[in-house]
Structures are given as structure tokens and as C-alpha cells.
Amino acid sequence: MLVDILHMSRRILRGPGPSIRWWIENLIKKRELGTYRYRYGIGALDRPNYAYLLFNAAALAAKLGHKRISAIEFGVAGGNGLLSMERHAAEIEKIFPVQFEIYGFDTGAGLPPPTDYRDMPYHFQESSYSMDRAKLTERLHRARLVIGDLRQTARSFFVDHHPAPIAALSYDLDFYSSTVAALEMLCAGERYYLPRVFCYFDDTVGDESELYNDFTGERLAIREFNERHETIKLCQAYFASARASLLWHHQIWIAHFFQHSQYNTFIGTPNRQLDLN
């Protein structure tokens, strides 16, 4: 019966009728029908953007011979995203020979006071997105919270935690100033990163209320980081945004470490040839 449902869903999802596709996808997600890889393939997962980050991070790590990698969420707030990241990691570890370490950065007390107009105080308010730390800690299985002012925790993180190479990053810090502090962590040295890191920037699209642009918020922090650094660049994942079906596809970026010793390591299909017809 389950096999028949999955075969039918594949046919429906390939065809027209977005409302039917939405209904089928939600049914599969709610009931967790089929394998995790199948649900990942059709996007029938909680926070598919996190699934995308961790799945591709693990795939790259496996090709490069890494057995342990790290994933970080900047901006934990209530903690639902961090819990989702844990669940995805547990499933993806069954597919790839890779183990995840997970870290969540947050003040624990919500947003700090905005610095200036670049933090978009017309949309973000001090103390928003506070955390019930005790409640969240009880529910976490493996993720470690890094609590405090990001300007300090970003500098002490590598010494305090000795993380496995970072392979996935989610930035949901809202502010320009906080994002600047988080991005500077990319300069910690190649032993702390894979040569290409899958990133998600939450506050880069929005709607008519946020009006995100290249001169405030996360987009400004990204642009200035790229201007300051010649050998590390943050680039939008055009292959993801080209799908254009979901908002989060436009929020995926890749951090490229061009001087990383593994950046040029071949990971493609070997000996590809195109025979003459």
C-alpha cells in the first residue's frame, strides 16, 4: 500500500495542479511516508532549507574524506530551528558516513539594541526573539548553545569549542552589525572549514515590510565582506535560485575558500566522455 502511494505521489508531483501537489507533499511530510532521501527529494520535510544545507554539506564532506563536520545556526531564538537541525542531522548521518556537531549562537535575551539604520530598526525591535534557555536545553540532544554577545563569542568560539570543520551555516541574525561579526568567523583558518560551505541567509528576500536591499541588513554585510576579502567569497547559489519555486531557494549562498588546500580536489564523476553519435 505504501509503495503504491509513493508511486502515485511521484506521478502527481510531476504533473500540473499546484494545490494537489501541496496537499500530497504535506501528507507525506506529516506522516513521514517513504524514506528520508525520498522526502528530501520532493521537499516534504520540516525546514527544507536546513535539510538542503546539511544534506549537501555531508555529501561534500564524504567526497573529501571528512568523518566529522559542524553545522551552525546564528540566531536561535525559541529554538525550533536548532531542534530541526538536530533531526535532519540524525537522518542524514544514516545516508553518508559523516557525523555532525551542531552549535547555536544567540544572546539568549533576544535582539540587542540596533546600532544604526543599517540594522533596520524600522522592522526589527530590541528584545524580540528571546529564548527560554532552560526549556530549550532540556529538549536538545546534541546541539551546544553558544550564549552571549556575538562580538565576543565569535572570537572565542574556536578556542572554547574546537569544532570539527564547519560545512553548513544558517544566518538568521536580522541585524547588519550582528551579521558582520558572524561573517568575520570565516577568516579563522582553513582547518575550521570545508573548502565550500553551504549557507542560508534568512533576511535577504522578505516582502514589502522588510524591503531588504544591498545597503542595509544581511545583504550589506555580505557585500562588504566580499569587498574586504580576496580569497573568501560569498556567492548566491544560482542553481538553487534558478528553480525559483520556493522562497528559500533564493536564500542559499555558498562560501568559497579559494586558497583552501582542498578547494581544487576533484569530486566529480571520473573519466566523463561524450561519444560521437
Amino acid identity, residue 216?
Answer: T
pLDDT level of residue 85 (50, 70, 90 thresholds): very high
46 has pLDDT over 90 = yes
CA distance 75 to 174: 8
HSE-CB at 275 with a 13 A cutoff on CA atoms is 1
pLDDT level of residue 129 (50, 70, 90 thresholds): very high
Q: What is the pLDDT of residues 221-261, one digit of tens each?
A: 999 999 999 999 999 999 887 765 788 999 999 999 999 99
More confident residue, 94 or 238: 94
Q: What is the pTM of this model?
A: 0.90
5 has pLDDT over 90 = no
Q: What is the CATH number of domain 46-257?
A: 3.40.50.150
Percent of the chain scoring above 90 in pLDDT? 79
Domain ranges of the chain: 1-45, 46-257
pLDDT level of residue 27 (50, 70, 90 thresholds): confident
More confident residue, 276 or 181: 181
CA distance 101 to 145: 12
Q: What is the pLDDT of residues 95-116, one digit of tens each?
A: 999 999 999 999 999 999 999 9
More confident residue, 169 or 8: 169
206 has pLDDT over 50 = yes
What's phi and psi for 248, nearest 5 deg?
-65, -20
Q: Which residue has the cell 544545507?
A: 53
